[in-house]
């Protein structure tokens, strides 16, 4: 049975004491069967995450990775380092990295490759800007990001989580209406099913991200097209994040 994933992207937030408080709040909540719940703290806090999540079902994710194994790349963090910190997921292609750090499709492909080589699952993020949606290009943009991001993968690759995060819904409180998000998921599934590489979609999870909270998440699950959420703001307080997880648990038991 497919699981529901709820992943918290902490972005560049929280200092040491706040991290301790959040991690202890999260780990005191036992993640139930059927739910994949996790957090993506800054690199600085991954070791704390590893320690706190040890012997729990909480998943640890990184927000980024560098494309080389090791060497003279001052300031960067490698996939083997993430693996040794117990990370089993890493975000790739988040719109903030594409826009603010000019991350290219080539870099995204390289990051996916190095993560898979180290048995870390990428969470590939895609999504159109407001201007692209308003000009009727949302599907075109998402299809291109999907095609480009996955272009170097060999035939039959088992796909990892993919997060549809419309840029206009991120951090704005203007969440995308569930039906619009569900339509995009249907489109993404179609594109993947038609891809030349004949991907293995058995573990594909399609996540929605953009102003998700404990009040609106149920609407996404009810579309039956959405396998989880990538959560920013509402992942920074344990009670807010756990409220989203509880929505998923209730949905599974309905
Ligand atoms: P918000 O939930 O704060 O809108 O952020 C979404 C996001 O960018 C998660 O990666």
Average pLDDT of the chain to the nearest whole number: 97
Ligand 1 centre distance from Cα of residue 197 (Å): 30
pLDDT in tens, 106-135: 999 999 999 999 999 999 999 999 999 999
**For residue 172, which atom of ligand 1 is closest to its CA?**
4
Identify the bridge partners of residue 208 per DSSP, sorted by sequence position: 164, 229
Tokens of 94: 């988040």
Identified catalytic residue from 96, 132, 165, 175: 165
Is 106 one of the annotated active-site residues of the chain? no
Tell me the pLDDT band of 2, cut-offs 50, 70 and 90: confident
Angle formed at CA 179 by CA 10 and CA 206, multiple of 5 degrees = 45
- Domain boundaries, given as residue ranges, for the chain: 4-253
Considering the entire predicted model, what is its pTM? Answer: 0.97
Tell me the pLDDT band of 216, cut-offs 50, 70 and 90: very high
pLDDT of 18 higher than 90:
yes
Is 175 one of the annotated active-site residues of the chain? no
pLDDT of 53 higher than 90:
yes
Cα four-point dihedral sign 38, 115, 107, 49: positive
Overall fold of domain 4-253: TIM Barrel (3.20.20)
- C-alpha to C-alpha distance for 211 and 217, rounded to whole angstroms: 9
Among protein residues, the one whose CA lies closest to atom 1 of ligand 1: 232
Q: What is the 3-state secondary structure (H, E, C) of 68-133?
A: CCCCCCCCCCCHHHHHHCCCCEEEECCHHHHHHCCCCHHHHHHHHHHHHHCCCEEEEEECCCHHHH
Tell me the pLDDT band of 166, cut-offs 50, 70 and 90: very high
Tell me the pLDDT band of 17, cut-offs 50, 70 and 90: very high
Q: Please report, to the nearest 10 degrees, the dihedral formed by the alpha carbons of residues 65, 68, 71, 73 taken in order.
A: -50
- C-alpha to C-alpha distance for 29 and 31, rounded to whole angstroms: 6
């Amino acid at each position: 049975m497919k699981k529901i994933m709820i992943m918290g992207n902490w972005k560049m937030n929280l200092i040491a004491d706040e991290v301790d408080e959040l991690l202890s709040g999260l780990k005191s909540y036992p993640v139930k069967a059927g739910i994949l719940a996790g957090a993506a703290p800054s690199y600085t806090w991954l070791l704390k995450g590893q320690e706190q999540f040890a012997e729990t079902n909480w998943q640890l994710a990184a927000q980024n990775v560098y494309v080389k194994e090791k060497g003279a790349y001052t300031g960067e963090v490698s996939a083997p380092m993430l693996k040794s910190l117990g990370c089993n997921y890493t975000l790739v292609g988040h719109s903030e990295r594409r826009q603010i750090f000019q991350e290219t499709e080539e870099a995204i492909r390289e990051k996916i490759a190095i993560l898979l080589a180290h048995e870390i699952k990428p969470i590939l993020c895609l999504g159109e800007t407001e201007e692209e949606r308003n000009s009727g290009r949302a599907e075109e943009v998402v299809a291109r990001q999907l095609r480009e991001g996955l272009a170097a993968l060999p035939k039959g690759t088992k796909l990892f989580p993919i997060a549809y995060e419309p840029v206009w819904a991120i951090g704005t409180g203007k969440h995308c209406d569930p039906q619009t998000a569900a339509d995009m998921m249907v489109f993404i599934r179609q594109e993947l099913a038609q891809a030349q590489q004949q991907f293995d979609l058995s573990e594909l999870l399609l996540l929605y991200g953009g102003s998700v909270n404990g009040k609106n998440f149920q609407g996404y699950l009810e579309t039956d097209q959405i396998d989880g959420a990538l959560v920013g703001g509402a992942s920074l307080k344990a009670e807010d994040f756990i409220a989203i997880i509880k929505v998923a648990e209730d949905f599974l038991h309905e």
